[in-house]
Structure 1
Amino acid sequence: MVDAQFLQHLVAEAKEDGVQQLVVGAVVQHDGNVLLLQRPADDFMGGIFELPSGKVEVGETLDVALTREVTEETGLDVADISDYLGHFDYTSGSGKKSRQFNFAVDVVAAEPVMLMEHDHYQWTPLAEELPVTDAVKGVLVKCRELRGL
């Protein structure tokens, strides 16, 4: 698990940077593959593949939010948060300056994936070029480096 004091530092730094909305993202790994979710076509940034991710609720720590979001979006249970993979900033659909903190996670079991907010999912080899935004590609590069791929 990632150190609680480190997570508090990340949140404090985001507030100093004027970030209005905190988001967590998970690189869910299993047998050398990463889980990607496809956004509904009629949603903000519709049709793109992304990591399981979501907003941090008021009073919630980053690790608790990450575990909750993975379960809500995929039905999978997080076994371990192994690494911090960096962050990226973006403007949300509602115009808020947002920061997504990304972590590598392992799950108890890779199936069944039960989608709640997305149209499709795919397990894709981490070593391959993945159909994601440039920001997410940067996160996956960091993950590959940590895994020696």
Structure 2
Amino acid sequence: MLPLEDDDLVEEEAIEASRIGDLELTGLRNISISYSRISLADVAKKLRLESPNPMADAESIVSKAIRNGAIDATLDHPNGWMVSKETGDIYSTNEPQLAFNSRIAFYLNMHNEAESEEIEVGSTGGGGWRK
């Protein structure tokens, strides 16, 4: 393996830091969806933050994500909590039913088309499928 130049090393470290930041943000989004309220200590544990002060790091990550609009939550500084704002219950609407009906109609149509083609090929007597 060839030794890395200083510029290559800096670029590689920047890419790694960006990847770790993306992983933390993805983890934080999942946490904010899963918990209506969670302590910053638990956020640090779940994100596996390994630093001298993981709670401060968790607070920094959470506040940055809130400021950037990545999560919909607030920080309760005195108690050390991240409080997620309530998300709407998608199942209280008919949207899931409409999506399910659309999928069923699509697959039923595809099945019927495949079945009609199978009958046409089979009826030609050319050695096609027969029902």
User: TM class, shorter-chain normalised?
Assistant: under 0.3
TM-score, normalised by the number of residues in structure 2 = 0.22
TM-score normalised by the chain length of structure 1: 0.20
Name the larger-Rg structure: 2
Higher relative contact order (CA 8 A, sep 6+): 1
Structure number with higher strand proportion: 1
